[in-house]
Amino acid sequence: MIHGDLSHFNLPAAHYDGAMSTTSTLNPFPPAAGVSLRQDAGIIGLVGLAHASSHFSHLILPVMYPVFMKEFGLSFSELGLLMSAFFVVSGIGQASAGFVVDRLGARPVMFASMVIFVLACVAAATATGYSGLMLAAVLAGLGNSTFHPVDFTILNQRVSAARLGHAFSAHGLTGNLGWALAPVFMVGITAAAGWRAAYWAAALLYAGILLLLLVKRAHLRTEVLVKEPSEKPEHDLAFMKMPVVWWCFAFFLLSTMTLGMVQNYAVSVLKALYGVSLEAATMTLTAYMLCAAAGIFVGGFVAARKPNSDRVVATCMSVGAVFMALCGTGIFGATGTMVVLAATGFAIGVGGPSRDMMIKKATPKGATGRVYGMVYSGFDVGFALSPLLFGLLMDRGWFNAAFFGAAVTLLLSVVAALSVGARIKR
């Protein structure tokens, strides 16, 4: 609950769930109680699968850059613009998608996004030049834009309160698995049958996921709040007046910039500073992602037991910042630096589920989709800015500074997390 008067949100007294029914104004969506583990696990699994498909979309184009350069004669800047377009569309779409989710429910929006992913893969499979690839990037970004407001609306409404921390852990873990699967899937099929076949296969994969979600759609039902005719209407953007929302946005933007640096430049930095092989540097990036996934798993138990989620997040980000700065000093040499960098992924990962709990506490009733959409659009902004800002350091040969810069952004995210905590009740 937020400090201060939330009456300006005009919390409704009724909701729509096929038919009108009445529920308490103070708690329009009471936390699920007495829900079986099997039911919770089913909901968490379906939402996790959808989230994995979202992260899968982040890499379906980048892993094919060498192919596109050879096939279409494209430059690095042209290829980079594809992902800039992806994240710009995703960021704008994510901020907007929350309003749609709050009005229509999460389930139809999720289904629409899966259809858009299928169309994005078809566009890539049939591309004959740069414009076709740009169309695929825009479609994929649009499909990706809905998943945080969709996923967290479903989890917050349908999963029992006692298992919500574990649900957030599973959500983050499946996202990382989506990142891990994309290169193996796309490159493996490309090697066996060609790059166009890989995109057709990806389209079939998304279609299969959509079919499963349709079959299991009862698990994904959410309730849409509607106002009583006697209630004073409140503008949909009223939540944006709350400073806590913007502190949450700032946290995502800053913490994601560090991840963006690691994903885009860690391999190049390790090669430049220590002369390690491409294989060793790449394996370090893989180790970072796997350690982050392990951290998210552990973080689910932490989030379920530690009520002060903002302090957990701040602690984890602070440890990650120290590790990242140590990588910049070079005092551990090549092998030690690679180990410490992987450990950074674990430290940051532990804070992931508590981060999501922190956002939940900062979200007023009836505005879940809108708040999550706005806050998580910081994720896209961070990914869009990070390659540009850290790229300036790389172009000047300031490779150590890339690690130090990533540490600074993590420390700034600590300030944002504690500012969120100061504005929510324990």
Flag whether pLDDT at 3 surpasses 60: no
184 pLDDT tier (thresholds 50, 70, 90): confident
Q: Which residue has the higher pLDDT, 61 or 201?
A: 201
Structure tokens at 310: 């903002």
Beta bridge partners of 16: 20, 224
Query: What letter represents residue 193's amino acid?
Result: A
Under the banding of pLDDT at 50, 70 and 90, the label for residue 5 is very low
> Domain residues of the chain, as ranges?
37-225, 238-421
Mean of pLDDT values over 63-67: 81
| Structure-block tokens of residue 59 | 């890499």
DSSP H helices in 159-242: 164-193, 195-215
pLDDT digit string (tens) for 91-109? 888 878 878 887 888 999 9
Q: What angle do CA 373, 40, 218 make, to 5 degrees?
A: 75
Q: What is the mean pLDDT of the chain?
A: 82
Mean pLDDT, rounded, for 132-157: 92
pLDDT (average), residues 340-356: 91
**pLDDT at residue 116, as a whole number:** 98
pLDDT at 7: 34
Do the Cβ atoms of 258 and 324 come closer than 8 Å?
yes
- What per-residue confidence (pLDDT) applies to 15? 34
Which helix or strand (DSSP H or E) is residue 21 part of? strand 20-22
Q: Rounded distance, CA 16 to CA 9, Å? A: 18
Binning pLDDT at 50, 70 and 90, where does residue 10 land?
A: very low
Tell me how far apart the alpha carbons of residues 251 and 377 are, in angstroms, rounded to a whole number.
Answer: 11
H/E stretch holding 318 reads: helix 309-329
The model scores a pTM over 0.75: no
Residue 23 has pLDDT above 50, yes or no: no
Q: Which residues are CB-contacts of 108 (< 8 A; sequence separation ≥ 6)?
A: none
Least confident of 150-164, 221-235, 291-305, 372-386: 221-235
Q: What is the pLDDT of residue 279?
A: 74
Among 84-88, 221-225, 234-238, 362-366, which stretch is predicted with the lowest mean pLDDT?
Answer: 234-238
Fold of 238-421: Growth Hormone; Chain: A; (1.20.1250)
Q: What distance in Å separates the CA atoms of residue 78 and residue 83, rounded to the nearest whole number?
A: 10
Tokens 């090669």 locate to 271
Q: What does residue 164 show for φ and ψ, rounded to 5 degrees?
A: -70, -40
Please give the average per-residue pLDDT across 202-218, as a whole number. 96
**What pLDDT is attached to residue 104?**
85
Q: 16 pLDDT band (50/70/90 cuts)?
A: very low
More confident residue, 204 or 221: 204
pLDDT band at 34 (very low <50, low <70, confident <90, very high): low
pLDDT score, position 305: 80
pLDDT at 287 over 90: no
% of the chain residues with pLDDT over 70: 85
pLDDT band with cut points at 50, 70 and 90 for residue 421 = confident
Which CATH code for domain 37-225? 1.20.1250.20
Most confident region among 138-147, 285-294, 359-368 by mean pLDDT: 138-147
Q: What is the number of other CB atoms lying within 10 angstroms of the CB of residue 15? A: 17
pLDDT recorded at residue 205? 98
Under the banding of pLDDT at 50, 70 and 90, the label for residue 4 is very low
Band of residue 13 on the pLDDT scale cut at 50, 70, 90: very low
- Tokens read off for 320: 């990650």
- Ranking 17-21, 119-123, 243-247 by mean pLDDT, the lowest is 17-21
Residue 42 is predicted with a pLDDT of: 92
Q: At what angle do helices 130-144 and 37-59 cross, to 10 degrees?
A: 160
How distant is the alpha carbon of residue 169 from its chain centre?
12
Higher pLDDT pick, 419 / 143: 143
Identify the pLDDT of residue 224: 67
Q: Is 408 exposed, middle or buried (0-12, 13-18, 19+ CB in 10 A)?
A: middle
Q: Do domains 37-225 and 238-421 have the same CATH topology?
A: yes
pLDDT confidence of residue 49: 96
Tell whether the model's pLDDT for residue 262 goes beyond 90.
Answer: no
Please state, in angstroms and rounded to a whole number, the distance separating the CA atoms of residues 425 and 308. 10
Confidence of residue 363 (pLDDT cuts 50, 70, 90): low
Q: Which amino acid is at 380?
A: D
